[in-house]
Chain A
Amino acid sequence: MTQPAPRLSVSGWIAFAAAVGLALGALLGWVAFAPRHPGDDSADAGFARDMSEHHAQAVEMSLLVMQRTDDPDVVRLASDIATSQAYQQGQMGTWLVEWGLPQARPGERMAWMAGHDHATMDMPAGVPMPGMATPAEIAKLTSSRGKAAEVLYLQLMTTHHLAGVEMARAGLDLGRDPQVRSLAEKMVRAQSGEVELMTTMLTERGSQPREDVSAIMGPNSPSASTPAEESSSTMGGHSRH
């Protein structure tokens, strides 16, 4: 009869058990508690927080202009922006709740966009994020009436949307969560389309956007290349059609 195979000593077994137990504990802990959701520093969470703040001002300006003009086209556009962006704010806030994350950021605004190669936009002092109106501009919109309010709103909202599209592109570029990427894509399409609409509306009012829109959006903007798909978008689609 041959000798039995050499066995592990007791201490050997204990060391082995400790290693297996630790690995198992870490695995189980991961299964039980690991963030199956985007983390606090993720692009997804950064997008949700920053886009919420950005949207809030679009809603604010839209509500302001609706009280300052009776023009049906402007009121319809403002109503579209206010309702869809307020809804999207709710979506983004709910994601953060589901992910177990605070609505308040852990650090600076737009830190999550570091890896995104984005077009630079002017950001006046006192403005938290690109495209947002200054307090003076909000005050001017508040005190304007009629056509003056319409033109100022369309210009401010065009600036707002151009930066909004850029941030949404960053969300699409850097976001990992499918819900985030899907909403970011809808924002790019809806806001690009609205920029075109607002350019036309400004022309009708003898004015124009403050930016060179086609230079910023490029000839291949989603709305320019695939206008038909926009009407099938369930969220944030505009009422141009």
Chain B
Amino acid sequence: MPRPDRSSTGGNDQRAAKLDQLRKEARSADRRRTASLWVVAVAIVALVGGLVTWQIARDPAGGDLSAVKSYDNLGREHVTAGKADYPQTPAVGGDHHPAWWNCGIYTEEIPEYHAVHSLEHGAVWLTYEPGLPQADLEKLQKLASQEFMLLSPVKGQDSPIKATAWGKQLSVDSADDTRIADFIRTYRQGPQTPEPGAACTGGTTTDLAP
């Protein structure tokens, strides 16, 4: 049985139709190429976006600690004779007394050469200029109510409140500054600790320097 579409059309018509078909195919191939370029581009952008989002979301300690000052090449010797002199107030590290100061909350000044040894064991030392308002002091006491924390007043420090770990120090103006908690989370027994695992109990609460 003859098929109606092939029965009687002329050769010219057939060629024109074929040409038209080829042009159409070329155009759609072009479109496909453009589209696939877009597809790849958008996919890459989305992929990078996904990765960056994850990367940002995964840091648990968080907080902006860019104001933390770092100190290197700190002495680690045990010295009993005389009193070590420290360039920072309060000291951020250096030679210290063989006895560490027991972690806890103190309302009197504590000897730096003992406290520095506690820093070496991973303690964070919160200090404040004497005369800090009671409400602010209570906020610091709450922050210091965990293991490996020292809290004490320090006369003559150049900021109302400071947070100190071995080789690290942050100065803040207010007890409400959330960077204090960020500092504790990052540096309390943090990676900068020279002697991780050493205790912050069983040391001394008495000044043992001669």
Q: CB-CB contacts of A20-45 with B at 8 A, as 1s and 0s?
A: 11101111111011110001100000
Taking CB atoms, residues of chain B closer than 8 Å to A105 are 146
The reply to whether the CB of A124 lies closer than 8 angstroms to some CB of chain B is no
Q: List 10 A-B contacts (CB under 8 A).
A: A13-B38, A16-B39, A18-B42, A18-B46, A21-B47, A26-B53, A33-B58, A34-B54, A93-B196, A128-B145
Q: How many residues of A contact B (CB 8 A)?
A: 45
Interface members, chain B 22-54 (any A CB < 8 Å)? 28, 31, 34-36, 38-40, 42-51, 53-54
CA distance A101 to B59 in the complex (A): 9
User: By the criterion CB–CB under 8 Å, are A104 and B146 in contact?
Assistant: yes
A-B pairs with beta carbons under 8 A, tally: 115
The reply to whether the CB of A146 lies closer than 8 angstroms to some CB of chain B is no
**Chain B interface extent, by class:** 35 or more
Q: Would you give the shortest CB distance from B205 to chain A, in whole angstroms?
A: 10
Interface locus among A53-61, A68-76, A211-219: A53-61
Interface members, chain A 98-112 (any B CB < 8 Å)? 100-106, 109
Interface locus among B65-73, B78-86, B112-120, B184-192: B184-192
The reply to whether the CB of B61 lies closer than 8 angstroms to some CB of chain A is yes
Taking CB atoms, residues of chain A closer than 8 Å to B39 are 13-14, 16-17
Among residues of B, the one whose C-beta sits closest to the C-beta of A63 is: B202
Q: Besides A29-B53, A102-B61, 15 other CB < 8 A contacts?
A: A21-B43, A21-B46, A21-B47, A24-B46, A25-B49, A26-B54, A29-B51, A29-B54, A32-B54, A34-B54, A53-B146, A102-B186, A102-B188, A102-B190, A128-B146
Taking CB atoms, residues of chain A closer than 8 Å to B58 are 33-35, 100
CA distance A7 to B29 in the complex (A): 12
Instruction: List residues of chain B with CB under 8 Å of any chain A CB.
Output: 28, 31, 34-36, 38-40, 42-51, 53-55, 58, 60-61, 122, 145-148, 184-186, 188-191, 196-197, 199, 201-202
Q: Would you give the shortest CB distance from A233 to chain B, in whole angstroms?
A: 23
User: By the criterion CB–CB under 8 Å, are A64 and B202 in contact?
Assistant: yes
Query: Interface majority SS on B: helix, strand, loop or mixed?
Result: helix
Q: CB-CB contacts of A85-129 with B at 8 A, as 1s and 0s?
A: 010011001000100111111100100000000000000000010
Taking CB atoms, residues of chain A closer than 8 Å to B49 are 22, 25
Q: Would you give the shortest CB distance from A29 to chain B, in whole angstroms?
A: 3
Q: Would you give the shortest CB distance from B200 to chain A, in whole angstroms?
A: 8
The reply to whether the CB of A5 lies closer than 8 angstroms to some CB of chain B is no
User: By the criterion CB–CB under 8 Å, are B54 and A30 in contact?
Assistant: yes
CA distance A18 to B49 in the complex (A): 11
User: By the criterion CB–CB under 8 Å, are A33 and B46 in contact?
Assistant: no
Q: Would you give the shortest CB distance from A89 to chain B, in whole angstroms?
A: 7
Known: A18-B42, A63-B202, A106-B60. A25 touches B190 (CB 8 A): no
The reply to whether the CB of A10 lies closer than 8 angstroms to some CB of chain B is yes
CA distance A22 to B54 in the complex (A): 12
Taking CB atoms, residues of chain A closer than 8 Å to B46 are 17-18, 20-22, 24-25
Among the listed B44, B50, B122, B186, which residue makes an inter-chain contact with A29, where contact means beta carbons less than 8 Å apart?
Answer: B50
User: By the criterion CB–CB under 8 Å, are B54 and A40 in contact?
Assistant: no
Q: Would you give the shortest CB distance from A90 to chain B, in whole angstroms?
A: 6
CA distance A100 to B61 in the complex (A): 9
User: By the criterion CB–CB under 8 Å, are A24 and B185 in contact?
Assistant: no
CA distance A7 to B55 in the complex (A): 37
Known: A33-B54, A56-B147. A24 touches B47 (CB 8 A): yes
User: By the criterion CB–CB under 8 Å, are B201 and A60 in contact?
Assistant: yes
